[in-house]
Amino acid sequence: MSLAGFTTMSDFIRVEQLCRRFDLSEPWLVRMIYRRPKRFLNAVDNVSFAIERGKTYALVGESGSGKSTIARIAVGLLGPSSGRILIDGHNLHDRELSQAEHRRIRQRLQMVFQSPYASLNPRWRVGNILAEPLRTFSLVDGRQAEQNRVDELLEQVGLSASDARRFPHEFSGGQRQRISIARALASRPDFIVCDEPTSALDVSVQAQVLNLLKELQHDLRLTYLFITHDLAVVRVMAHTIGVLKSGQLVEEQDTATLIESPESDYTKMLIRSAPRIRDDRPVIN
Partner 1 sequence: MSAQKSLMGRFRESDFLYDFKRSPVTVVSFVIVVTLILLAVFADLVAPTNPFDAGSLNLMNGFTPPMQPNAFTGETFYLGTDDQGRDLLSAIIFGLRVSLFVGLTAVILAMVLGVSLGLIAGYRGGWVDSLIMRAADIQVTFPSILIAMLIFGIARGLLPPHMRDELAITVLIIAIGLSEWVPFARTVRGTTMVEKEKEYVQAARLIGLGSGQIMLRHILPNVLSPVLVIATITLALAIIAEATLSFLGVGAPPTEPSLGTLIRIGQDFLFSGEWWILLFPAVTLLALALSVNLLGDWLRDILNPRLK
Partner 2 sequence: MSETILSVRNLRVVFPHRHGALVPIDDISFDVEKGEIIGFVGESGAGKSMTGAAIIGLIDPPGYIERGEIWLKEERIDQLGISAANRIRGRRISMVFQDPLTSLNPLRTIGDQLVETILTHLPVSADEAKRKAIAGLEEVDIDPARFNAYPHEFSGGMRQRVVIALALCAEPELIIADEPTTALDVSVQAQVLELLKRLCREHGASVILITHDMGVIAETTDRVAVLYAGRLAEIGDTQTLLRNPQHPYTKGLIASTPSVEYGDISTELFQITGAMPRLDALPDGCAFHPRCGQALAHCATKRPHMERNRVACWLYNDV
Q: Give the Cα separation of 88 and 101 in Å (integer).
A: 13
Q: Which residue type, as a one-letter code, is found at position 112?
A: V
77 binds, among partner 1, partner 2, none (CB under 5 to 8 A by kind): partner 1
Check: CB of residue 177 under 8 Å from CB of residue 116: yes
Binding residues for partner 1 restricted to 177-206, rule: CB under 8 A: 180, 183, 187
User: For partner 2, which is the closer residue by CB, 24 or 29?
Assistant: 24
Is residue 253 a contact residue for partner 2 (CB under 8 A)?
no
Q: Is 72 in the site for partner 2 (CB under 8 A)?
A: no
Could you tell which of partner 1, partner 2, none binds residue 76, using a CB distance below 5 to 8 A set by kind? partner 1
Q: Does 210 bind partner 2 (CB under 8 A)?
A: yes
Q: How far apart, in Å, are the Cα atoms of 193 and each of 112, 189, 221?
A: 6, 11, 14
Beta carbons of 59 and 226 less than 8 angstroms apart: yes
Residues pairing with 227 in the sheet: 59, 195
Looking at beta carbons only, is 21 or 72 nearer to partner 1? 72
Q: How far is residue 17's CA from residue 46's CA, in Å, rounded to a whole number?
A: 4
Q: Which of 70, 111, 159, 181 binds partner 1 (CB under 8 A)?
A: 111
Query: Rounded to an integer, what distance in angstroms lies between the CA atom of residue 198 and that of residue 179?
Result: 13
160 binding partner 2? (CB under 8 A): no
Give the residue with the Cβ less far from partner 1, 9 or 100: 100
Q: Is 166 in the site for partner 2 (CB under 8 A)?
A: no
Task: Please tell me whether residue 77 binds partner 1 under the rule CB under 8 A.
Answer: yes
Give the integer Cα–Cα distance in Å for 103 and 177: 25
Per rule CB under 8 A, is residue 21 in the interface with partner 1?
no
Are 47 and 243 in contact by the 8 Å Cβ rule? The answer is no
Closer Cβ to partner 2, 63 or 138, answer by number: 63
Q: By C-beta, is 101 or 254 nearer to partner 1?
A: 101
For the chain, where are the alpha helices, taking DSSP H only? 28-34, 67-74, 99-108, 126-136, 143-156, 173-185, 203-220, 231-237, 255-260, 265-273
Nearer residue to partner 1 within complex by CB, 73 or 249: 73
CB of 110 to partner 1, least distance (A): 7
CB of 91 to partner 2, least distance (A): 29
Task: Write the DSSP symbol of residue 9.
Answer: T
Interacting residues toward partner 1 by CB under 8 A? 72, 75-77, 102-103, 106, 109-111, 113-115, 118-124, 132-133, 136-137, 165-166, 170, 180, 183, 187
